[in-house]
Structure 1
Amino acid sequence: MTGVTGNRGLLRRDRDYRWFWAGHTVSVFGTQVTAVALPLVAVLTLGGGAGAVAAISTAAFLPNLLLPLFAGHWLERRRRRTVMIAVDLLRAGLLAVVPVAWACGLLSMELLIGVALATGAASVVFDTASYAYVPSIVDDDDLPAANRAAQGSATAAQVAGPGLAGGLVQLAGPAGAIVVDAVSYLASALGVAAARRPEPAPETPTEAAGFFDGLRPIVTNPFLRALTVHAAAYNAGFQILTVNLVIYVVSDHGVDPGLFGLALSASGVGAFVGTMCALRAAAVLGYGRAFAAGLVFSTGVPLLIAVLPGEGATLAAGLAVCQLAAGFGLGVANVLSVTLRQTVAPRGTLARTGAGYRLLIYGVIPIGSAAGGVLGEAAGSRVAVALGAAGMALSILPMLTRRMRRLRTPEDAQAQAVRHS
């Protein structure tokens, strides 16, 4: 890799990555639509309440706690492109069950929960395979640009996906929205299948890989360790803040729910801008300094939320500015994080290390949610928001070491990791 900006025009000149990116983009939009559309089916078709929505959302998230290590261990011996195509077809088939059951009068809450659980598990496998596949489909020089494009798609899906799901339900009805969602996964499979660049055969291990081997590089590699500790602490703090933010802003300070949602969406706008600026910032400042600068925004700005002045629309405007700035930093950090992890991890362990990372950073989310509830009840929503933001701010500490700050390119980290081992 000759630099951190990558070559220009990757999507224009690289047919194989362009097709893969198109499939990936449709897939992440489909995942976002599924997350909203399935609960809407429960509410609008089956008359479900908050408990039903919570059960479906929990079922969709649960595989992130149980499955990553299994998926990473299994994928290390297999070609990832073939797996991704199969998983997309599986997700399309699973979602097609919902409108068929509705048409036959067999739709039930238990069925929706089962579909949410199965599609969530399939998405874990797809995401783990995709993370390990990207370095094999592009040249090393293009890896940062490839990750920028993929992160841009993911950010756009997070911003537009819920609105797209709501619009589909409005136009086609709950069952019709699920049909469209199922078709989106077929389109994703076609996009991934059209990427014809030969994928290297999986490496034959010299010794049997243990189930927990995906965690070993995270513990021993100083860069992977710092990234994981930061992300886990950030996610825990973010959950504490998020659980209490709606109470603090809407219930305690009279912000209209619509304004609250609009303020939160500013984070996605900021993240998209940050994603597009990440590689330029790394080229100008150096990789480590650009990463740290992004984290100053993403972890520091939320500290202002608990002290924002005003009520109603005034508070919503202040929250939107905070979300915009924090989202910008998060967009920068996400692009640089993915490329750094893919560069320093041994190529033969990408699926396992990616899965181990996913397990650790998502495993803290239910802990953060529970802690947020306890803190909100015990100390009030404002204090809990402040404590969650403080946890996010402290998460920057592992990323401020001299080793991390002085990185000019991801290859510098790779060389240091080799010497460290």
Structure 2
Amino acid sequence: MRSSPYWPVIRHTTLRRILPGFAVSSLGDGMAVVAVGWLAIELAPAADRGVWVALAAAAYTLPGAVGALLLGRLLRRRGPARLAGWDAALRAGALGAIPVLHAFGALGIQGYVALLAVSSVLHSWGQAGVYTLIARLLPERDHLAGNAVLSGVGSLATVAGPPLATLLIGFGGPAAVLAVDATTFLVLAVTFLVAVDRDAVPEPEGDSASRATGFAVIRRIPALSGLLALSFVFFFLFGPVYVALPLHVSDDLGASASVLAAYYSAFGIGAVPGSVLTGFLGRWRSWPTTVGIVIGFGALMLPLGLGAPTAVSLVCFGAAGLLWPPYSSLSTALFQRSAPSALLPEVLAASSAVRVLSVPLGTALGGPLVAGLGAAGALRLSGAGIALVGLAAAAAPALRAARTRREPACPSRSDRES
């Protein structure tokens, strides 16, 4: 156990206080994945249910990107524990208002979507605060293991949360699930705002009062701008899967919802060991490993659209889930080690905003793709596109080096005069 890369994370005094609250909150979020859409179905007019379900799902995530863009001047100098705590407190308050209003019969679909949107305004900053804490509390060699622990907790929540939500919906309805979710965020807020000693989080050396935004910092560092572009395209191309996979199961396979649930469960089950294995990748070169994950992920997506037997495509989708946590943890570790420590919250918030936007944009593209290519065609395009983007990213350093070698050196002054 002591030789495990996770030992320094588990034995760290401050992180031992944070992790239980983070685990409880992640479980609540895993339950909310089911409840958010289900309550929208109950509240929306029958003729417009599809639209309102989509709006509710978007409201639970997208405002975080807006908050990252608009609240930088207000939040950029705040400590990471405060950022994470404020995000959790806002989530607890806004989500907690939903079951209260519902119990009094005062909750309409418009108010429901508005409260979901309010709850997520600070989420990019909250995520930035959590991973900035990891970067400041642990030495650089342990950043990947710290990220993997958080990713592993989230993966377990995606497996356990939906079944628990289903049971609770049967007893108290979806509003009861959101009440539980709000309570878990309250636990997390107390953890960050009360249980984390400010003196335990070291401040970065140097002047932290820079007015540079996270995006400005990323633009100045080619490695980060390239990684952010890769992440955006990767998640954007994965977005259509959320539209194409359900239609592929129902229309192409003629199967029931249980088969669709099996795909998502396989992905989540694969993500759990993927999170565990991530901590052991610390000695691997980060950029080639990250690019290799993108190529492998795209290749594993292809059987879903190529007519492979259901059992084979389930195994491949689970194997893709195995690669998801390492990509997230490795890419975050690259930001943690490349960005200036004083500006790390801004940089991570900008990165989170881009990721939050990319998947919904890709999901929106899924409708036209399925209409034009069919569900299987959309899945093929998604997998092939992801693999090709990974191959292009792998070839990019060699192409830049070759271009540099071909460019003639700038002539000296004496050469120009002669």
Provide the C-alpha distance between the structure 2 equivalents of 1:370 and 1:177, rounded to a whole number of angstroms.
Answer: 27
Q: Is the 8 A contact 2:62 2:356 kept in 1?
A: no
State the one-letter code of the partner of 1:250. S
1:332 aligned to which of 326, 333, 337: 326
> What is the DSSP-based 3-state SS (H/G/I as helix, E as strand, rest coil) of the residue aligned with 2:196?
coil
Deviations 1:156-199 (A, max 9, x none): 22333222322222233333322222211122123323233522
Provide the C-alpha distance between the structure 1 equivalents of 2:60 and 2:267, rounded to a whole number of angstroms.
Answer: 23
* Alignment correspondent of 1:117: 117
Q: Note the 1:141-290 alignment, pairs <5 A.
A: 141-192=141-192, 193-196=194-197, 198-201=200-203, 205=207, 209-210=211-212, 213-283=213-283, 285-290=284-289
Provide the C-alpha distance between the structure 1 equivalents of 2:100 and 2:152, rounded to a whole number of angstroms.
Answer: 34
* Alignment correspondent of 2:293: 294
State the one-letter code of the partner of 1:263. Y
> What is the DSSP-based 3-state SS (H/G/I as helix, E as strand, rest coil) of the residue aligned with 2:60?
helix
* Alignment correspondent of 1:83: 83
Gaps (5+ residues) in structure 1? 405-421
Compared CA separation, residues 252 and 234, structure 1 to 2 (3 A): same
2:364 aligned to which of 370, 373, 379: 370
Percent sequence identity over aligned pairs: 26
Gaps (5+ residues) in structure 2? 399-418
Indicate the structure (1 or 2) with the bigger Cα radius of gyration. 2
Q: Does 1:353 find its partner at 2:368?
A: no
Q: Is the 8 A contact 2:238 2:382 kept in 1?
A: yes
Provide the C-alpha distance between the structure 2 equivalents of 1:35 and 1:72, rounded to a whole number of angstroms.
Answer: 28
Q: Is the 8 A contact 1:296 1:329 kept in 2?
A: no
Of 88-97 and 346-355, more deviation after overlay is shown by 88-97
Offset at 1:282? 4.1
User: TM-score, normalised on structure 2?
Assistant: 0.84
> What is the DSSP-based 3-state SS (H/G/I as helix, E as strand, rest coil) of the residue aligned with 2:202?
coil
* Alignment correspondent of 2:379: 385
Of 265-274 and 163-172, more deviation after overlay is shown by 163-172
* Alignment correspondent of 1:17: 15
Offset at 1:237? 1.1
* Alignment correspondent of 1:415: none
User: TM-score, normalised on structure 1?
Assistant: 0.84
Q: Note the 1:125-136 alignment, pairs <5 A.
A: 125-136=125-136
Provide the C-alpha distance between the structure 2 equivalents of 1:133 and 1:181, rounded to a whole number of angstroms.
Answer: 23
| CA RMSD after TM alignment | 2.7
Q: How many residue pairs get matched?
A: 392
Q: Is the 8 A contact 1:89 1:186 kept in 2?
A: yes
Offset at 1:398? 5.3
State the one-letter code of the partner of 2:16. R
Q: Is the 8 A contact 2:208 2:342 kept in 1?
A: no
Provide the C-alpha distance between the structure 1 equivalents of 2:349 and 2:6, rounded to a whole number of angstroms.
Answer: 30
State the one-letter code of the partner of 1:307. L
Runs ≥4 residues deviating over 6 A: none
